[in-house]
Structure 1
Amino acid sequence: MLPRFLLYGCAGWVMEVCFTGMGAALFERDRNATATTYLWMHPIYGATALGLEFLHDRLRFLPRPVRALAYTTVILGAEFATGWVLRKALGRCPWDYEQRGLNVKGLVRLDYAPFWYAAGLLFEPVREALLRITSEALRQTPEYRHAVETGAVAEPFHLGPVSTEQEAGEAADTFLLAEETEPRPSY
């Protein structure tokens, strides 16, 4: 979970830098396409995306556009809640929409909902890619390879299609079993 949290946070930063840079270039005529983000955004994006994973597991029976609408609602709620907490803790929210767009207490811009909906549509393909990346990273660890080589854990064998979630879960289980079978050095 921690690797995905970190990767989601970085993906959020990249998304925000691209969005604000393009906005500056297109609407503010900033030839440098100056982009902005905040350090606070990494944990906000990371935690929100993990919440979207949780939501995905409960809504997987719905069509993807409907799930994206639910993700949009969660994203806007997370933006409002974290903005409110930051305003209380810091005396101000790093992003301030008071004088811009259709906003709610300066913390959320409702006119950005279509962009968040697009992010919601992209969430699942990004999630699948991150699950594949983290699963493959686990397979590359010495503990995993050692466990497979010694026969402590068999290399997963599948008949038929396998979901990315199942693949990621099996790699993680194998990694955890490999850690359990490895003798711990005593210091």
Structure 2
Amino acid sequence: MEVCFTGMGAALLERDGHGTAKTYLWMHPIYGATALGMEFLHDRLRFLPRPLRALAYTAVIFGAEFATGWVLRKVLGRCPWDYEKRGWNVKGLIRLDYAPFWYAAGLLFEPAREALLHVTSEALRQTPEYRHAVEAGSVSEPHHPQAVSPEQDAGEAAETFLLAEENERKSTA
């Protein structure tokens, strides 16, 4: 997402015909930790309407960006993303004018999360261990995946896969 964002910005705003994009190695653990924070928040705010949850995700994104930027500045002497001379920045670490983009990311978080859960569940169901165990009757296929939440479906698929894997290990031992 960041590479697409910075590449489009370079192409549209800086007239870079190549759409040169960039990111930082630090971003991978930062994005992972931020996603875990959003996941934690998702479970606690499930009762709120999605636009309000997206607002909370926006706050998590801004908080993570500010906190990790501050830590990197203290540890490395500088923050890889320096907004000091750009946009509505707070201490050069976050840009408040990015709020609409972070809000859009917050709105897309749950559909992307559910799609990833679905893909993961289906990938587990396609493993030889899973298929053989279901065919042999040593594990039962979870009931109607469409009738449960993506979280429940992924959990059932994972449990069935682990049970199938354990049964196969026992049968070959």
Residue by residue over 1:61-102, the C-alpha shift from the partner in whole angstroms, topping out at 9 and shown as x without a partner, is 100000000000001101111112222222221111111111
Contact 2:38/2:60 (8 A) holds in 1: yes
Structure 2 counterpart of 1:71? 57
Q: Which runs of 5+ in 2 are unaligned?
A: none
Query: In 2, distance between residues paired with 1:16 and 1:122?
Result: 14
* Equivalent residue in structure 2 for 1:25, among 4, 11, 17: 11
- 2:31 is aligned to 45
Residue correspondence of structure 1 range 133-172 to structure 2 within 5 A: 133-158=119-144, 161-172=147-158
Identity of aligned residues (%): 82
Counting only pairs closer than 5 Å after superposition, residues 97-176 of structure 1 correspond to structure 2 as 97-158=83-144, 161-176=147-162
Q: Which amino acid aligns with 2:80?
A: P
Q: Secondary structure at the match of 1:32?
A: coil
CA displacement at 1:180 relative to structure 2? 2.6
SS at 2:147 equivalent = coil
Task: Compare relative contact order (CA 8 Å, sep 6+) and give the higher one, 1 or 2.
Answer: 1
Residue 90 in structure 1 maps to residue 76 in structure 2: yes
Deviation at 1:160, TM superposition (A): 7.0
Deviates more, 1:106-115 or 1:83-92: 83-92
Aligned to 1:62, what secondary structure does the other structure show? coil
Out of 13, 35, 46, the position equivalent to 2:21 is 35
Please, which moves more after superposition, 154-163 or 138-147?
154-163
Q: 1:56 aligns with which of 42, 46, 56?
A: 42
Q: TM-score, normalised by structure 2?
A: 0.91
The Cα shift of 1:149 comes to 2.2
Q: Which SS does the other structure have where 2:30 is aligned?
A: helix
The secondary structure found in structure 2 opposite 1:30 is coil
Task: Tell me the residue number matched to 2:163.
Answer: 177
Separation in 2 of the partners of 1:169 and 1:86?
36
In the superposition, relative to structure 1, how do residues 144 and 160 fare at CA in structure 2: closer, same or farther (>3 Å)?
closer
Conserved? CA contact 2:145–2:153, under 8 Å = no
State the TM-score, normalizing by the size of structure 1.
0.84
The 3 A distance-change label for structure 1 pair 98 and 160 is: closer
Q: RMSD over aligned Cα, in angstroms?
A: 1.8
**Rounded Cα–Cα distance in structure 2 between residues aligned with 1:88 and 1:61:** 38
